[in-house]
Structure 1
């Protein structure tokens, strides 16, 4: 009888331990889904000179803080991979990520998409804005006017200014589409990584590179300093549409706070001061809800890049 009692007590202990572990796990899981920031850290990556972007982004701290009722800190990161890692380690709550940056973050369980940016459409030639708001844009390949390079076919062996590998317009889409056409620029051209699409435009203008992969129409970023840039640097290729940039959030953020945050960003985009700020940051004109499945085209292009890098 004593032996049976010991066995039953042992089984009871095991059951209680498993039950407690399950409860603990359930509690942890619940906590991960209910993260509500007491202060908010928002990360940007320069698409232009970092000092200019940081100065233009600073007003967002005050605007968001007023709407959310918590302190907000805006920070600059050197590239999108850094932002993804910071979100993964829970050091950054909100990231302004391009499509590829978001896809990478979501794949790693670091972020969920909250909103997508709206931009004015671009009319070519001349790279001027239209009055239509669109949820996609294109990448373009630029060369110096008068260059012997007239087609993407002539980029073999040439020096090309690009952004980091998580930049949709500055890397992924041009590289993937040229691969589909039969040109492996990773192997057959010299890619030079630069910081900012404005720098890529200037590198072409100054003859530091033969071409550049940038978003359409990045030439406007330097028009203030180089008024005739549209005549001196010209596009020779445009990619298919790319989903616009995202505002992405930590994957453990609570649904209630996500809703509050989305409302705040949308309202900021509609206000006069807020609209001027976001337009100066990334030429954003406002924000709208978006689904993860809207970025499947990006995943397709990422697979092309992965295959190309394996064959490099």
Structure 2
């Protein structure tokens, strides 16, 4: 009798285990389907738009607010514009879903996309630059430049050893990543053989050089133009001693990775249309030196993934 009771107990436990396993599989399957079906289902009722602090934060906020109103008029929903405290914080804001849409630099876009936090929808267009001379051709990539004060003893990248250099955050492609990598390939490790000073905004890098606070600066080409209104002679006062050999994809407009596809298209179309209007063009040019936008996707940033990988392995 005891053997029969023991057998019944064993069978009961086995049956329960089978049932629990089946339930677990069913629940797992339902969760997977739910995740898949809601992966890009987020439709904002309002937009939190964040811009990069490429110039001083207070000035940037005043410049960017009109864009929020234009976008709100196009979409029919409120658009709140903020300026990031620094470029790194934008990746965190996208990851925590506090920001729906952001002007991400190529370096920040790559980091955000790798974390599953953001997808690119638009890429900026700018007129080409050639050492301060603006071309009439719209391009979707640019170089990094190293500048020094006119009259400096620094004549080339080789003279940067032991010098004080203004840089942007480590995720800045032009203000840190690419020049650091290219100079290291040439034999100069500025991270250990120079003094790097982080400043907020490429214009601040140029101003730091002009004021003699640093010996050189890493910026995008040509950040001097952002200072020209305050110093009309800036192109002579600050000169370029190096341009990167590799080019960097232009800035992105990126959105939350869970944003609805149809809404993404609506948002992208709205930004393209805004940039084509005289008022809208003036705003996007003033806040980011953008001339307009073209639709883009992750494949356009293959070079940035290679730069990121090279920096991690250096």
TM-score (norm 2): 0.92
Which residue in 1 is equivalent to 2:82? 75
Alignment partners' CA distance in 1, 2:10 and 2:113: 54
Cα deviation digits, residues 171-227 of structure 1 (max 9, x gap): 111111101111100010000000111111111111110000011111111111111
Alignment partners' CA distance in 2, 1:42 and 1:147: 41
For residues 12 and 198 of structure 1, do their structure 2 counterparts lie closer, same or farther at Cα, with a shift above 3 Å needed? same
Q: Which moved more, 1:112-121 or 1:292-301?
A: 292-301
Maintained 8 Å contact 2:53/2:87: no
Q: How much does 1:21 deviate? A: 3.7
- 1:112-261 superposed matches below 5 A: 112-124=119-131, 127-239=132-244, 240-261=246-267
> Computing the radius of gyration over CA atoms, which structure comes out larger, 1 or 2?
2
The alignment's C-alpha RMSD in Å is 1.8
Which residue in 2 is equivalent to 1:268? 274
- 1:280-291 superposed matches below 5 A: 280-291=286-297
Maintained 8 Å contact 2:123/2:294: yes
2:44 alignment partner, SS class: coil
Q: In the comparison of the two structures, how many residue pairs are matched?
A: 306
Cα deviation digits, residues 62-113 of structure 1 (max 9, x gap): 1111211211111111222211111111111111111111011111111111
Q: How much does 1:39 deviate? A: 1.0
2:159 alignment partner, SS class: helix
For residues 6 and 148 of structure 1, do their structure 2 counterparts lie closer, same or farther at Cα, with a shift above 3 Å needed? closer
Q: How much does 1:229 deviate? A: 1.0
For residues 232 and 22 of structure 1, do their structure 2 counterparts lie closer, same or farther at Cα, with a shift above 3 Å needed? same
TM-score (norm 1): 0.93
Alignment partners' CA distance in 1, 2:11 and 2:204: 79
Cα deviation digits, residues 16-62 of structure 1 (max 9, x gap): 44313421332133223211111111111211111111111001111
Q: Which runs of 5+ in 2 are unaligned?
A: 1-7
Maintained 8 Å contact 2:39/2:258: yes
State whether structure 2 residue 106 is matched by structure 1 residue 106: no
Alignment partners' CA distance in 2, 1:191 and 1:10: 61
Q: How much does 1:2 deviate? A: 11
1:131 alignment partner, SS class: strand
Q: Which runs of 5+ in 1 are unaligned?
A: none
1:220 alignment partner, SS class: helix
Cα deviation digits, residues 147-187 of structure 1 (max 9, x gap): 11101001010000000001111111111110111110001
